[in-house]
Structure 1
């Protein structure tokens, strides 16, 4: 796994029936932006991918929807009516490219009358590698069948209905036949890619508070940014220097450096720090004095310039960082930022995407920030089916495109 093509990554998201989306498919490149009017479903795309990420990490179904707007009930497609037995739900899926080739995962979730996974399908190498179905509604399990290609072509067994079956396969499949080894490889490819999904939503107010020195794994809300900057300053000097350089380009000058100063926390015996910008002759300016836009830029740039050893993401500890890909989800990437800051973030995202370790899927309010930005795939939501098109973004390289995606 020495090349980018061998690092498992999510290349397509399918929303067969999820919130406002029906029969929608989204191609995901290394740097993907979603634009469209308010209510067109941009945030829902990121939420669906976040749901798949948590399921792949083995989380129980009920806990997965804590961070989804409106909870699990809001995931049911708009206007969907229950069937004769009072059942409603949603369907989502994705394609993961990796050593096995493209592998497709599709999941059907029932939300009423009981929350459960009622169907799942894993397809790769021209085979249906796994399928599950709810046979007995009175039992909290599904009947699973996976490809074996041995003396018995298919192995069947019950699995719990509150976990993603694909994530459980490494514990259930022996790997003694060629078919079983294919199933394991495909499942591990999907799980590895999805466990690298990291939703980020920087909250400036939380970043203005000192962080405990021991709190060194960056959370999605970035409230512990100061403690993480203390780590990167000592452990990742090259990336820390790149972060300072980015700040110098787009934030109020002068910016000579980025460091931390002692903080005060109410917990007795807890050492804490607060990040500060070195403004040269003007001295150190703690981040609690910065504006929301500067703080959001700092947090998002830090996320793009770090990796699984710094971000609080549940990647596989059994796989080297060098062959893992993080997919950063940034809803409202340009919120509170001026044009120069937004463009600099896109430039950083392009640079790290070229190295193959971090991909970005974000939503933007102003799609013109992508004009002339190299390597960006722009998905425009809210366009009718007959207007689907792919045309290059003006001034970009050969890999950049603007996609008019049908969302209805």
Structure 2
């Protein structure tokens, strides 16, 4: 907590997350979505050195939305944090080995939107006694970067980033775990990625690509096998050298829209040559115009058809009927394989009369957030 207070006083993007809170594992079958994981990190950042105290903490909604105007998903994230259970090894009253299960948030309040506008909205919360005990008794900590936390697009990458930040400055920056421990730490549901080749491709390689791009360190792993079966993994975290660190700082300052193409090396570089020495060697204006036209044509070729009109309202019937195509596409992308109309019925019930007041971008973001939270609550269909 002293480290957290010191980092908070510096007013930088760095903040400390207690080690025991980083290493706490998810209860089997439960995990936090990416948006809820980000919110929890922002809560730790906002609480700072007072996170262990039995007192409410507060944060502006604008600091959660990252510039978006919609607040609908904040409610879903808070509810997800309330109902997600974590586990830690403990001792029973008889001194026997036991597993203690608990939640991290015991109370939260969210201001309703009023005439002051959404920018004036705040949330208030209080950590549970179990969470405060973990925070107070932690003897280690992970120094995280706020921009990196908000930049991750995979919840697994964010969790592995926290585990790496906790170990990077140790004498042996290594994390060794068996497969059940890996799933519990990252929140990988037991019914997905049962084949290790799929888990490696969908989880580990994706996480490594994001961490190597956004973190101040890189991650590597070694697979330990018994026969052909992977039984353990050994993760090693290596600090980047100075040029790579500068590259990471530059990347965090750039817009996230082109982050994946930059990571995959799919971005074309425009090289400007030095100015020619003589008038005869100067580039003709027609040549410059041709280059600009070529680039503009390549960009416009990627846009298929006109931009869709903003959604006027949520369909009352099946999303497979005319008028529900946009919501159907969002449901297929973020619904985790569940029947889209089943999620839509649950969404209508959850929103009630509020649904009539939503339209356009607010409506589509609310629908996407509900699909993500639905998968987080239910897992994936068998």
TM-score by length of 1: 0.24
Specify the structure having the higher radius of gyration (Cα).
2
TM-score by length of 2: 0.25
**Structure number having the greater strand percentage:** 1
**Structure number having the greater helix percentage:** 2
